[in-house]
Structure 1
Amino acid sequence: MKHAFIFPGQGSQFIGMGKNLYDEDEQAQLLFDKANEILGFSISDVMFFGTAEELKQTNVTQPAIFLHSVIAFKTLTTDKPDMVAGHSLGEFSALVANECLSFEDALKLVSIRAKAMQKACEVNPSTMAAVLALDDKRVEEICASITNEIVVAANYNCPGQIVISGSIKGIDEACKLLKEAGAKRTLILPVGGAFHSPLMQPAKEELTKAIEETAFKPPICPVYQNVVAKAVKDSTEIKANLISQLTGPVRWTQTVEQMIADGATRFTEAGPGKVLQGLVQKINKEVQVDGIG
C-alpha cells in the first residue's frame, strides 16, 4: 500500500487560488513572500486579486500553479510520499516534494520555462485540441498522416481523452480527420501554443542551460516522469527527462498505470482544482483519490 502525491499542470488556475493557504499558515506566508522576491513581482497579488486574463498569461500561470501546489504540500500534510508525479508543469512541484529540487531553484526553473514557452508561442502561433472517444493509436496515425504541418499527440490524459498539439492549420486539419474517423468530439483548447510538440524547441534550448546549471539532489522517493512513464531516482536521468518533456508527450495514463502496478493504492492531488483526481479515477476506479489545497 503506497501513497502517491500528484501535482497538476496548466489549466487548473483560478482567481483567489492559494489565498486560504496564505491566510491560515505562517509558513505559507513566508513562502509566498519569498516567491514574490524571487520573481521580482507580487505573484501573490495576481493569484489572490488579479483578473482571469492576467492569470492566464503563461509566465504567470505556471509559477502560480507551482506555488499553490508546493505550498499546499508543505503546509497541509505531514505524510511522506512513497512516489510522486506531476502533469507537465506539475513535474517541477513533484521534484520539490521528493526533495530532488529546492523550492527556490524549482521556482526559478518554472519561471524560466514559462517565459521561454511564452516566447516560443509568439514566434510560432500554434495551438492544442482535446480529442474524445477515439483510440490512442488511431489518433497517432492521423497526426502522422499530416505531413505538411506539425501535429503530434501531446497529452495521454486517460483512456478516451488525448490532447494533440501543433500548428494552427495542422490542428484544424487533424480535427476534421479525427471527427471523420469517429472521434466523439474535438475541442480547441484556450492555450498559448503547441506545448509538448517540436514547436517548443526554442524554449527547450533555453531551459536546458538553466536545468544543467541547477543542483539536483538524490530524491527521497521515485518520480514517475511524463516522457518515460516509469519510476526514476537518478538525478542525471531526471534532468534529461525534464528537458525532453518540453517537446515530448505527457504520458499520464501510462504513468498512473505504472504507479498502480508498483503498489500505489492512494493518490493525493496537491494544488488547485481536481483535474488529476478525475483522470486517475477514469484510469482506475479501484484506487483511493483525494486532494489538498
Structure 2
Amino acid sequence: MKLAVLYAGQGAQHPGMGKEFYESSPAFRAAFDSAALDFDLHRVCFEDPDGVLNQTEYTQPCMVAFACGVTAVLAEHGVQPAYAAGLSLGEYSALEAAGVFTAKQAIELTAYRGKAMADAAKGIDCGMTAVLGLDRTALSACCEEASALGCVQICNYNCPGQLVIGGEKAAVDKAAELAKAAGARRCLPLKVSGPFHTRLMAPAGDALAERFKTERFREMQIPVLFNCLGREKADADTIPALLVRQVQSSVYMEDTLRRLGELGVDHILEVGPGSALSGFVKKTLPGVPCASVETPEQLDAALAAWRDEA
C-alpha cells in the first residue's frame, strides 16, 4: 500500500471536533495540549459557547491542534504515509506530519497566521464564490475582464469542474456573472471573512516572512506536496518562501491529487473534520480509495479495511 495523508483546510471546523479522540487517546492529548495560546483551546474547539470557532484567528490553531493529535494517533498505530499534503491551512498539519514542525510549533504558528490573515482582511469588502462546470482557461478570462472593478483571482483549483474565485466583492460578483454567461453550471457565494489566497493577503505573507526568521524548519521525513506548486518542492525552493507565497496565491489541489496519482499512491486518508477532500479525490482520482478520519471509530474502520486488503 502506498498511502498519502491529506489534511483538511479551514471551513470544515465544528464544535466538538476531536473531543472523542481527546477523551480516549493520551497521544492525541499530548499533541493537542502542547501549545501555549492566548485562549482556551478546549473551550473553543470542543464547545465554542462564545461562537468564535469560525473566526479565522481561532479556526486555524483549533484545526491544526486536531490534526496534530490525529497524526500522533496514526503514528501509534504504525501508519506511515509515503506523502502528505493539505488544503491551505492543512499544509501546516502536513508539514508537522513530515517532521518539519513540532505539534506545538505548528499550532502556535497557525495561531499567528490566523491573526495575520484576519488583520490583512480588515476593511476589505471581500467575496469568494465557487464556480461549477467551467474550465480554468475560461474562468481566468472572466477574472481578467472583471479585474477592472478590483482584485479577483482563481484562488482554489479544487477538482475537475470546481474552482473558487476570490477578491474584492464587486470584482468577484462581476466575474461570477461573466462565468455564468460563459457556461458555468452554478456560481455559489461562500461565507468568508477574507479574500484568502489572493494578492490582497500580501500583508499576511509579509508578517509570516518575519515570523519565520525565528522559527526552526527541520528536514522533511516524508515528501510534502505544496499548495502553490501542486507538487513536491524543487531543491531551490525553501519551505518558508513557499509558505509565504501560499497565503497569497492559488491552492492547486487538483494538481496535487493528480501528482499523487503519478507517484503511484493507491490509498488516501483524509484527516478531517469533514470529508471535502475525499470528494475532490473521487472526482480527480476515481480509482483511488479514500477514507475520512474524524473520530476513533472512523480510524478503526480504515485500519480494519487496510488489514482486510493485506
Deviation of 1:103 (Å): 1.2
Offset at residue 221 of structure 1 (A): 1.1
Paired AA for residue 81 in structure 1? P
For residue 57 of structure 2, what is the aligned residue in structure 1? 59
Q: Quick check: 2:272–2:293 contact (8 Å CA) kept in 1?
A: yes
Q: Secondary structure at the match of 1:291?
A: strand
Paired residue for 1:50?
48
What 5-or-longer segments of structure 1 have no aligned partner? none
1:70 to 68, 71, 77: 68
Secondary structure, aligned partner of 1:220: coil
Aligned: 1:90 with 2:90: yes
Seen in structure 2, the aligned counterparts of structure 1 residues 218 and 235 have a Cα distance that, compared at 3 Å, is: farther
Whichever residue aligns with residue 40 of structure 1, its letter is D
Asked if residue 278 in structure 1 is aligned to residue 276 in structure 2, the reply is no
SS of 2:259's equivalent?
Answer: helix
One-letter amino acid of the counterpart of residue 107, structure 1: I
* SS of match in other structure, 1:34: coil
Query: What corresponds to 1:165 in structure 2?
Result: 166
Q: Partners in 1 of 2:239 and 2:57 — Cα distance? A: 23
Deviations 1:157-186 (A, max 9, x none): 000000001101111111111111111111
Q: Displacement, 1:145?
A: 1.5
SS of the residue 2:5 aligns to: strand
Could you say which residue in structure 2 is the equivalent of 1:252?
A: 253
1:123 aligns with 123
Q: How does 1:258-273 map to 2 (within 5 A)?
A: 258-273=259-274
Letter in 2 for 1:56: N
Instruction: Report the identity percentage.
Output: 35
State which drifts further: 23-32 or 259-268: 23-32
Cα shift readout 1:96-153 (whole Å, capped 9, x = no counterpart): 0010111122112101110010111113231211001111111111101123210000
Q: Within 2, Cα distance between the matches of 1:17 and 1:197?
A: 29
In 1, distance between residues paired with 2:82 and 2:50? 35
Query: Match of 1:14, as an amino acid?
Result: H
Residue 40 of structure 1, CA deviation:
2.2
Query: Structure 1: how far apart are the matches of 2:78 and 2:62?
Result: 22
**In the alignment, is the contact (CA less than 8 A) between 2:31 and 2:104 conserved in 1?**
no
Deviation of the 1:28 alpha carbon: 2.1
Q: Which moved more, 1:4-13 or 1:48-57?
A: 48-57
Q: CA deviation at 1:271?
A: 2.6
Alignment of 1:40 with 2:38, yes or no, is yes
Q: Which amino acid aligns with 2:109?
A: L
On the 8 A contact 1:100/1:235 being kept in 2, the answer is no
Cα gap change, 1:129 to 1:52, in 2 (>3 Å): farther
Report the Cα distance in structure 2 between the residues aligned to 1:150 and 1:262, rounded to whole angstroms. Answer: 36
Q: Give the structure 1 partner of residue 308 of structure 2.
A: none
When residues 222 and 22 of structure 1 are mapped into structure 2, their CA distance, relative to the original with a 3 A threshold, is same
Q: CA deviation at 1:52?
A: 8.2
Q: Is contact 1:196–1:250 with CA below 8 Å preserved after alignment?
A: yes
Task: Judge conservation of contact 2:32–2:68 (CA < 8 Å) in 1.
Answer: no
- Tell me the C-alpha RMSD between the 2 structures: 1.6
In structure 2, the gaps of 5 or more residues are: 295-310
CA distance in 2, matches of 1:67, 1:235: 30
Aligned length, in residue pairs: 291
Assess if the C-alpha contact under 8 Å between 2:226 and 2:232 holds in 1.
Answer: yes
Question: CA separation in 1, counterparts of 2:184 and 2:49?
Answer: 35
Supply the distance in 2 between the matched residues of 1:51 and 1:229 (Cα, whole angstroms): 38
Deviation at 1:211, TM superposition (A): 1.9
Deviation at 1:213, TM superposition (A): 2.0
Asked whether the 8 Å contact 1:32–1:44 carries over to 2, the reply is no
**CA drift at 1:234:** 5.3
CA distances 1:248-283 after superposition (whole Å, capped 9, x unpaired): 100000001011101111111113111111111110
Whole-angstrom CA distance in 2 between matches of 1:189 and 1:227: 21
TM-score by length of 1: 0.95
SS at match of 2:269: strand
Contact 1:126 1:168 in 2 (8 A): yes
Residue identity in the other structure for 2:21? L
Note if contact 2:159-2:283 (Cα within 8 Å) is conserved in structure 1.
Answer: yes
* CA distance in 1: counterparts of 2:78 and 2:31, whole angstroms: 17
